Amino acid sequence: MKIMVTGGAGFIGSAMIRFLIASTPHEVLNLDKLTYAGNLDSLAGIGASSRYRFVQADICEAGSVTPLLEQFAPDAVLHLAAESHVDRSIDGPAPFVHTNIVGTQVLLECVRRYWDPLPADRKQAFRFLHVSTDEVFGSLGATGLFSETTPYNPSSPYSASKAASDHLVNAWHRTYGLPVLVTNCSNNYGPYQFPEKLIPLMILKALRGESLPVYGDGLQVRDWLYVDDHVRALYRVLAAGRIGETYNVGGHNEQTNLGVVQTLCEVLDRIATPRPPGIDRYEDLVSFVADRPGHDRRYAIDASKVGRELGWQPLETFPTGLEKTVRWYLDNPHWWSRVLDGSYRGDRLGLSARAHAGTVS
């Protein structure tokens, strides 16, 4: 089987490719534009595999995508290419609209034109798996879970762009018959994550003895999913999911943002030595800062469908996954130091809208 992975140099995409090369016999084509968050160092261990190929290309450019589809002749496309950081989408929505909406439409049309004339057996077996987020559903109250039938109610430019891309994928199935699958996942974490995200950002700030900024009161709730658990779920959906269906993928690990940072500090206290000068406990570095505009209060995933139909369950608890993550960042400064040598140095993003944001609920 040949699988094209878009966004394969990103966090989840690179984890997906490492899994495919290490645990399956499939051939993999990695199509990635290599934006700021794309990092081929995340794939250094598999770059020499005869079953792996990388091409730098943009999903928004049909003239690049179409020849790759014709040359590689995939049996499946795993679509992970996306702009993904909420704070960046607040500062600048345009790249999110361009990549997540326009790019998905261009990719879908290129794939449809490739798929339509395939021989009947290959056409029937082909799959297009679109990887999305639980943020498309908006914010939950104190109780309840997002299901596959929860109405969309996105809050940020990022989540609105992903909601639009989900609708496009489903429209290409209903209108043209393209055999699609959609997944909506909760917050991912683990090794190789770009340090604008909460967990790696807090780890690296703590190791440098810097303030650990927590938005608002820190009681926003997220469901945390270890990235290796996520890619196993994606593979199960690709292999056995029902065409046209959506599958929610969550870690069964609801945590407040403050609780995440406090637990991370406890892990660092135990395993990260020596501490920065003058720091008795890493939790002493925690500070509270102005909340993000439009910050959703709670996300929580009902992942019973993917468990019931496809037999998937997460293997990591939050404590085990978090400790693995912290140990990886401690053991791999060469990876994250190269990332921080670029344009991003851990500064806060997403403040540009605050003057016009009004009251944040």
Element containing residue 106 per DSSP (H, E):
helix 104-115
Across the beta sheet with 187-189, the strand order is: 187-189, 221-226, 254-256
- Contact between 104 and 130 (Cβ < 8 Å): yes
Question: CB-based contacts of 50: which residues, under 8 Å, 6+ apart?
Answer: none
SS3 sequence, 246-261? EEEECCCCEEEHHHHH
Residue 156 CB: number of other CB atoms within 10 A?
A: 24
Closest to 115 (Cα-Cα) out of 159, 177, 165? 177
Closest to 330 (Cα-Cα) out of 320, 318, 322, 342? 322
How far is residue 4 from each of residues 8, 16, 28, 188, 215, measured CA to CA in Å?
9, 11, 6, 22, 38
Helix axes 198-207, 333-340, angle to 10 degrees: 100
Catalytic residues: 134-135, 158
Q: Is 227 exposed, middle or buried (0-12, 13-18, 19+ CB in 10 A)?
A: buried
